[in-house]
Amino acid sequence: MSTAGSPERVQPPRPGDPSRIGPYRIIGRLGAGGMGTVYAGLTAEDLRVAVKVIHPAQAEDPEFRARFRREVQLSARVQGPCLVPLLAADPEAASPWLATAYAPGLTLNQHLAEHGRLTGGTLYAFATGTAQALAAIHAAGVVHRDVKPQNVILTPAGPHVLDFGIARAADGTSVTRTGVLTGTPGWISPEYYRTSTAGPEGDVFAWGALVAYAATGRLPFGGGAPDAVAFRVMSGEPDLDGVPETLRDTVVQALAKEPGERPAAAAVAERCSRLLAAQATQVLAADAGREPTRTGTLVTSEWHIPAADDPAWRAPAPASRRRTLLAVLVAAAVLGAATGGVLAFRGGGHDTQAGRRGAGTHATGAPAGASAAPRADRTAPTSPAATPVGEAPSPSDPRRIPVPVDPLAGVSDPAFTRAGDESEPTSDEWRTSVGASAPGETAVDRAVRADTTSMLATKDMDFMTPTVTFDKRAQTVFVTGGPVSQLPDDDREVFVRAGETAACTALAHRLAEDPTAWSYGRYAVVWKSYDGDTEASVLGFGEATDGCLTRIAGQWQGDEEGLATAGIPSSDKAEIRVADATDKAVTAEWNARIAQGDGLAPFGGDDPVSLGFDPVEKAAYVWARDTNEVLVGRAQRSNFQDAVSTTVCPKLTAEYRADKTWNYTRWSVAVMEANSRIPEIIASGECPV
């Protein structure tokens, strides 16, 4: 039972079907099978997902539930090209479920039946993409064990291998019942028939059969009774008539009877990539007017499978230009972090149970080939903080170089001509954007990636490595993230904020330095649901000509987004140290004012005051849980604001002068009243340094 999608249109829900499963709104069905039902779901952002729900009878079987739990654990480990990422799961629910990104398209079986065999660049892209998928699976220490045409979806963006329902770990921990034959006749390796051995070599054998089937439209070992098929697999030769000569040698080696004679999936993927590149070169030679294709996009560029949209899916709503974080998200982030007075380091990185740093995420959650920045206590900022009021820029200290608020002021004929354009960047513009080529683009690419990673690293989120691309016609720079399995919404929001600020800062400086030649002034942050996603969502956008920080009447102002980010625990040792000392100082100052008899009272509860850092706008946020309603009056709030500002600024200033990589110079104060889950920001400011 596949979770990735269905070749059929979304079917309407039936009586008794759930309206929600976990965080997903259910709008219909994608299919059903012996294990359960696959529902069509939508996230809060209207992204499409497929949700598999196990039948109650199966869920009551302890052995089956254990197998399903193992399936979830294995699927969370696997991320890579041409794979459908696991987004979320609850194997302990009364009706266990798991959700994946939705991959639209026909299975290989159905495509061959309706449209015939694959040819040309599409065939080579199919061979390359499926081999890359198996290489990623094996790199995560997992064996698929059921590679077959029904488990490959031909999406408009490329082939996608799915369904890990009978996968097993390479260490031998099996998901299947002992003694039960798994797999499908014709797609089972000779050694599995003989000894029930199912290693990575068996997946490579099935890959060879899969490519032969795609190229010829015929089953390489024929059909008929399972025993007859098994005999031909173990002792007969495959039917490869029609497989291109350049591809045949690799297919023959993959179909070797002895597993030790087969190449590894990674080697197969490398060979097929070279063949695909050669195929693309031949096409270019025949079409001299066509632009060169980058190696990383060969599969998608040479893939020619049309999209088949289903109007039953509701189209995603357009992203806003500057999103405000939902109040419930703010409350959840603040309440989650407020269990202690200080935000503490989360040992071992993000919650591994949530799959954020699983072994199969390329270690970064970025597209294959990307690399994460080295972890450090803090990465020096590449975009400076704004110069505090009254301070002249210091050429020896990059932190004091201001970000231009209006870089095109006084420029009569700027190269960037879309200033003031409120229209949202389109998916077509994102798809046609390319990597940096000119020196200026390369510099911006480097600055945006380094700055974004620097911000994310303080929250232990630098696994979300950004990709930066440029669309010259749209005068837009795109910062793309994803896919990352089971990524919480608040983590993705931090990526969006960091990407927006990094892009805005880099572009503002470039516009100010070379306004008549530098044409990029717009930016957009895009998130992919899966590798090869052609309809990725634009989650944030803007332009670098109207300021990169939140300012009201020229003064920096904290906001709900920054407060939510500050509520995420820090992994930076200096931040933890300063937060601890500052939190204690604020509490001591408030207690001293209470003792002076100014009509003030304690907040109540344990550790009512919390402090966290927002690395995006370089601000410290202090918030109080006012369970005793001691800050209901204007005078009391003003007193608390003063207690915070007079305490926080000396701490931030001292650290700023002692540590050249410390760039927190702003502060904001929030109060959460007893009967409210929504913090209210009551004051913000900047510290003189």
pLDDT tens readout for residues 85-104: 888 889 888 889 989 888 88
Higher pLDDT, 186 or 1: 186
CA 212 to chain centre: 34
At residue 605, the pLDDT reads 61
> Per-residue confidence at 280, pLDDT binned at 50, 70, 90?
low
DSSP annotation string for 615-667: TTTTEEEEEEEETT----SHHHHHHHHHHHHHHHHHHHHHHHHH-TT----EE
161-175, 246-260, 529-543: range with lowest mean pLDDT:
161-175
Q: How many CA atoms lie within 13 A of 577 on its CB side?
A: 9
Percent of the chain past pLDDT 70, that is, above it, reads 77
- Tell me which amino acid residue 157 is: A
The β-bridge partners of 522 are 476, 543
Contact of 38 with 52, CB cutoff 8 Å: yes
> Per-residue confidence at 549, pLDDT binned at 50, 70, 90?
confident
Higher pLDDT, 401 or 495: 495
> Per-residue confidence at 225, pLDDT binned at 50, 70, 90?
confident
Percent of the chain past pLDDT 90, that is, above it, reads 36
DSSP annotation string for 554-600: TEE---HHHHHHHTSPP--HHHHHHHHHHHHHHHHHHHHHHHTTSS-
280-294, 493-507, 542-556, 665-679: range with lowest mean pLDDT:
280-294
At residue 326, the pLDDT reads 32
Query: Per-residue pLDDT for 537 more than 80?
Result: yes
> Per-residue confidence at 583, pLDDT binned at 50, 70, 90?
confident
At residue 289, the pLDDT reads 46
125-134, 142-151, 437-446, 631-640: range with lowest mean pLDDT:
631-640
Candidates 65, 88, 62; CA nearest to 3 is: 88
> Per-residue confidence at 295, pLDDT binned at 50, 70, 90?
very low
Query: Per-residue pLDDT for 667 more than 60?
Result: yes
At residue 651, the pLDDT reads 93
At residue 173, the pLDDT reads 39
- Tell me which amino acid residue 636 is: Q
At residue 332, the pLDDT reads 34
215-224, 286-295, 419-428: range with lowest mean pLDDT:
286-295
At residue 519, the pLDDT reads 95
Sequence-distant (6+) residues with CB within 8 A of 13 are 26, 27, 28, 29, 39
Candidates 579, 582, 603, 581; CA nearest to 591 is: 603
At residue 536, the pLDDT reads 82
Residue 428 backbone phi and psi in degrees, to 5: -65, -40
Give the mean pLDDT of the chain.
78
| Helix residue ranges, H only, 321-480 | 327-337, 427-432, 439-457
Residue 615 backbone phi and psi in degrees, to 5: -70, -15
At residue 297, the pLDDT reads 56
CA 591 to chain centre: 44
| Helix residue ranges, H only, 287-319 | 298-301
Query: Per-residue pLDDT for 370 more than 60?
Result: no
Strand order from edge to edge, sheet including 48-54: 20-21, 24-32, 36-42, 48-54, 97-101, 86-90
What region does 132 belong to: left with phi over 0, alpha with psi -120 to 50, or beta? alpha
DSSP code of 684? E
> What is the C-alpha R_g of the chain?
28
Alpha-carbon torsion (191, 193, 194, 197), positive or negative: positive
Give the three-state DSSP class for 422: coil
At residue 250, the pLDDT reads 97
CB-count exposure of residue 545 (10 Å: 0-12, 13-18, 19+): buried
20-34, 67-81, 130-144, 167-181: range with lowest mean pLDDT:
167-181
At residue 615, the pLDDT reads 95
End-to-end CA distance of the chain: 61
Element (H, E) at 611: strand 609-614
170-179, 296-305, 539-548, 676-685: range with lowest mean pLDDT:
170-179
144-158, 350-364, 629-643, 650-664: range with lowest mean pLDDT:
350-364
- Per-position b or e across 505-531, b if 16+ CB within 10 A of its CB: bbbbbbbbeebeebbbbbbbbbbbbbb
Give me the helix-helix angle, 489-513 and 439-457, nearest 10°. Answer: 140
Overall average pLDDT of the 530-537 stretch:
82
At residue 44, the pLDDT reads 80
Q: Which two tokens stand for residue 57?
A: 């009878």
Query: Per-residue pLDDT for 165 more than 50?
Result: no
Q: How many CA atoms lie within 13 A of 443 on its CB side?
A: 12
Sequence-distant (6+) residues with CB within 8 A of 94 are 56, 59
Highest average pLDDT, of 118-122, 300-304, 373-377, 398-402, comes from 118-122
Query: Per-residue pLDDT for 174 more than 70?
Result: no
> Per-residue confidence at 201, pLDDT binned at 50, 70, 90?
very high
Active-site residues, by number, are 146
At residue 368, the pLDDT reads 28
Sequence-distant (6+) residues with CB within 8 A of 258 are 191
At residue 183, the pLDDT reads 54
Sequence-distant (6+) residues with CB within 8 A of 485 are 76, 79, 85, 86, 87, 355, 356, 358, 361, 365
Task: Give dist(CA 162, CA 146) in Å, integer.
Answer: 9
